[in-house]
Chain A
Amino acid sequence: MCATCGCSDTGTPRITNLETGQTNSLASHHHTHVHGKHDAGHDQHSHDHEHTLILEQAILSKNDRLAERNREWFQENNILALNLVSSPGSGKTTILEHTIRVLRESMAISVIEGDQETLHDAERIQRTGCRVVQINTGAGCHLEADMLARGLEELKPPAHSLLLIENVGNLVCPALFDLGERTKVAILSTTEGEDKPLKYPHMFQSSSIMILNKIDLLPYLTFNVEKCLEYARMVNPHIQIFQVSATTGEGMAQWYDWIGAQMKSMTDKVGSPC
């Protein structure tokens, strides 16, 4: 790995279809490995033909445009796409496994897994019998809209279905990169600090749902649930919170009901004349 910028030859983004076992590169990252300072002295520039272009453009405008294209595609195909974000180890994959097992009878489900390395999570999802594509971001710390678009081409989720996107475990970067999802779902576990919503406000601000996982461990921890909920609402007064244990199943019904209601409202909208 390049010690300066964190990239590596083997660290380029790639996508693996678990059904075909094929891995393809998503690489668009080619920079020469010269990390010396440039010598951009103004004296070197010719000022004779200088033009100033006013851009006033959002740095993320390209990603936002691609995300909007994904969003339109989801709407056209009646797909409920949820972007699950959290720290590593909060229980995202376990929540997905249980959600798939419970909801698969009532709706078609597919998964896009995002991790820096390995196919481990996608293999866990595959064992549930669910269709899954793994995106390995390599040097990247989050999924971007174009990676998701490539994942969708590979996965081909059916119309009228639920698409669960498990983002790279990271509470900073995924907040900035819209993928075109209906909403982000922030997962926080009781083995983390209750002040995480304050420490990582962007993530909790950009999510409309927060799942507080591992509540079965509360008797053994000093985690203050009330404080945690207060902090989350301070950052995002409209956030809807589910307290669950993916392992014991406690509280998971609220999450399943919420997904069911979202799926139903989407189908109703399609069926209605307006």
Chain B
Amino acid sequence: MHELSLTRNIVSIVSEKAQGAKVTQVTLEIGKFSAVLPDAIQFCFDIVTKGTVAEGAELEIIETPGTGECHACGARFELQQMFSPCPCGSTNITRLTGSELNIKHMVTA
């Protein structure tokens, strides 16, 4: 249920930045390994925005895949799991994407 408190954070930031304007659209970026369920955020968003400048706003969620760079062979590849090894077998990997948890932009009317 941390999605509820994350959504409260989202609505609080969006409301502050809107400075009283009506918010019609919010775009989030949520990584595959961020431990956050986009569906749950969507669900909470409708509830938490009630009575705020973002009530009725459309929520767009960009889900970013996990990618990693292998230190053994230099390949960049998609990570199916947080600790997937490189196709070459190495586990010496730096995760490049997948942990995003950001508000990208919003549209006000």
Contacts and interface: CB of A to CB of B under 8 A. Distances in A.
A and B found bound together = yes
Query: What DSSP secondary structure best describes chain B's contact surface?
Result: mixed
Contacts, number: 113
A40 B56 contact: yes
A51 B21 contact: yes
A102 B35 CA distance: 37
A52 B109 contact: no
A51 B44 contact: no
Interface string A1-26: 00011110000000000000000000
Interface residues of A, number: 47
Interface stretch (A83-91, A140-148, A209-217, A263-271): A140-148
A50 B104 CA distance: 16
Interface string A47-62: 0011111111111111
Nearest to B48: A31
Interface string A182-207: 00000000000000001001100000
Contacts of B106: 52-53, 55
B9 A60 contact: yes
Given A40-B58, A54-B104, A31 B21 contact: no
25 contacts: A7-B4, A32-B51, A35-B46, A40-B58, A42-B58, A49-B109, A52-B105, A52-B106, A54-B104, A54-B105, A55-B14, A55-B103, A55-B106, A57-B13, A57-B102, A58-B102, A59-B28, A61-B13, A139-B1, A141-B1, A144-B5, A173-B1, A176-B6, A234-B91, A235-B83
Q: Which of B1, B18, B82 has the most CB of A within 10 A?
A: B1
Contact-residue bracket for chain B: 35 or more
A196 to B, nearest CB: 14
A56 B50 contact: no
Interface in B1-51: 1-2, 4-6, 8-10, 12-14, 17-18, 21, 24, 28, 35, 43-44, 46-51
Interface in B52-69: 55-58
Interface string A28-54: 010110110111101011100111111
Contacts of A172: 2, 35
Interface in B66-109: 82-83, 91, 101-109
Contacts of A44: 56
A38 B46 contact: yes
A56 B13 CA distance: 11
Among all A-B residue pairs, the 3 with the closest Cβ atoms:
A173-B2, A55-B103, A45-B24
A57 B101 CA distance: 9
A46 B21 CA distance: 13
Interface of B: 1-2, 4-6, 8-10, 12-14, 17-18, 21, 24, 28, 35, 43-44, 46-51, 55-58, 82-83, 91, 101-109
Given A40-B58, A176-B35, A6 B4 contact: yes
Contacts of A56: 102-105
Contacts of B10: 59
B48 A176 contact: no
A244 interface: no
A63 interface: yes
A175 interface: yes
A59 B5 contact: no
A32 B104 CA distance: 27
Nearest to A172: B35
Interface in A68-122: none
